[in-house]
Amino acid sequence: MQKLLGILFLIAGIYFLGQNIMFSTYYSPFFWRNLPAMGSVLAIMGGVVSLIFFPRQTGGFGWILLVAGIILVFLSGGVFLKPTSLWNFLVAFGAIAVGYKLLFTRTFRF
């Protein structure tokens, strides 16, 4: 029961924190200006597919693709952070921390 509650807290915290992060790409008539955005989408898709469908064969390569995709998202300038209140951030980060502690410890104590 403790692990299930931890997973629910983690998902809720990531959801509330992720509501204020926007990823966008822009259209450019020249293909080389949109290359980091296109590369980030392809790298993340390839990483997710390799981790879900081929975890034993390409598990390490899948993690490399995911990290490369996240780095390319930031390099492309396609990440926008919407303004958020300190209370929303505190609740989201607290839910992530409590969920992690519930999920990965045997006994939960503050």
User: Who contacts 98 (Cβ-Cβ below 8 Å, separation ≥6)?
Assistant: 6, 9, 13
One-letter amino acid at 107 equals: T
- Spatial separation of the C-alpha atoms in residues 99 and 12, rounded to whole Å: 9
Q: What is the mean pLDDT of residues 28-44?
A: 68
Tokens of 100: 């992690």
Q: What is the pTM of this model?
A: 0.57
Residue 102 scores a pLDDT above 90: no
